[in-house]
Amino acid sequence: MCLAIPGKIVEISPESPTTALVDVVGVRRKIDLGLLQDDKPVPGDWVLIHVGFAMSKISEGDAVDQMRTLRMLGEIDGAMQEVQGYGLEDGK
């Protein structure tokens, strides 16, 4: 439940400013930026993602740390499964 997965913003959706394409260790998924309206991220920024929503902006170093924590916790498979499970893509 507490999983927070780091991802890098690749692109903000031209149709919806609250949807972004992120890269999580090579996997690209759409996430929701609605909870960062007061501190909007831009492409290239790193965010922590929880249940499909960006929760906070973090530095690249912190993103690397967080990924390593997940790996150490044995949660990396669960995290990747979660990311791949986001069915926010259109047509799915």
User: Please, what is the minimum distance in Å from the beta carbon of residue 14 to other proteins?
Assistant: 19
How far apart are alpha carbons 13 and 1 in whole angstroms?
27
Residue 28 C-beta: closest distance to other proteins, Å: 15
Does residue 67 touch other proteins according to CB under 8 A? no
Question: 55-64: long-range contacts (C-beta < 8 A, 24 or more apart)?
Answer: 55/4, 58/6, 60/8, 62/6, 63/6, 63/7, 63/8, 64/6
Nearest approach in angstroms of CB 43 to other proteins is 20
Among 1, 14, 15, 42, binds other proteins (CB under 8 A): 1
- DSSP code string of 27-76: EEEEEE-GGGTTS---TT-EEEEETTEEEEEE-HHHHHHHHHHHHHTT-H
Site for other proteins in 3-62 (CB under 8 A): 3-4, 32, 34-39, 48, 50-53, 55-56, 58-59, 62
Which residues lie near other proteins (CB under 8 A)? 1-4, 32, 34-39, 48, 50-53, 55-56, 58-59, 62, 65, 68-69, 72-75, 82-83, 85-88
